[in-house]
Amino acid sequence: MEQSHFPITNWSEDDRPREKLMLKGKSVLSDAELIAILIGSGSRNESAVDLSKRILKSVDNLNALGKMTISQLTTFKGIGEAKAITIIAALELGRRRREEDVVELKKITSSKIAFQLMQPIIGELPHEEFWVLFLNNSNKVISKAQLSKGGIAGTIVDVRLIFKPALETGATGLILCHNHPSGNTMPSEADRQMTKKIKAAGENLDVKVLDHLIITESKYYSFADEGIL
């Protein structure tokens, strides 16, 4: 026998997600209630909130939910393509907002600030990318650029492509950044050799390599902090 549920329309207004947001503000809503507003409705046997709780229970956190594909979301009964697209779009907007917030941190005064700038861009990618932050004399970011894009195991960087834009923009310092999709922040021997090669080239051009960050979803490794540079 199918289990019945108590529809949201029968809840008190204070407990309905939409009305609760209007009356009490967005901060008091749970993650499940916010997702329930996005999907609008559940099914005959499950409220939108219960459906949202079931989806969240299947993942570790909202970051993991944001990585789910349309096909993965539509495996949940009650989630069609339209609802799946709505969830994906909302979480992508949240990620982009976070990226814009940290872009305002123009001056790099620590490895943590560089990590906050780059994590939303490369921290959650399933493949490796190599980026460079170009800095002026005040350690303010002039620009940032992707130098290469690789597979799960690694990426190849052409040193010449690093210093051409550095010289064109008048950058005096660089911060190298690449991600490890595996979640392991420890540098490989190839990472160490590449960093030495880029640092040596920078010394000849009077452009200082200030740091090299290995970035994952939640943490990072700084060559400068570890005394390697």
pLDDT one-digit tens code per residue, 113-147: 999 999 999 998 989 999 999 999 999 998 899 98
Question: 15 pLDDT exceeds 80?
Answer: no
For 23-41, how does the pLDDT look when each residue is reduced to its tens digit (9 = 90+)?
A: 888 888 899 999 999 998 8
Whether residue 105 has pLDDT greater than 80: no
SS (H, E, C) 35-95: HHHHHCCCECCECHHHHHHHHHHCCCCHHHHHCCCHHHHCCCCCCCHHHHHHHHHHHHHHH
pLDDT band at 2 (very low <50, low <70, confident <90, very high): very low
Contact 51, 58 (CB under 8 A): no
Show Cβ contacts of residue 222 under 8 Å, excluding neighbours closer than 6 positions. Answer: 111, 115, 211, 212, 213
Residue 133's Cβ-count burial label (10 Å; 0-12, 13-18, 19+) is buried
Q: Dig out the tokens for 102 from the structure.
A: 């940290």
Residue 97: predicted pLDDT:
79
Q: Is the pLDDT of residue 18 over 80?
A: yes
Give the pLDDT of residue 95.
82
The predicted structure's pLDDT at residue 101: 60
- pLDDT at residue 102, as a whole number: 56
pLDDT band with cut points at 50, 70 and 90 for residue 6: low
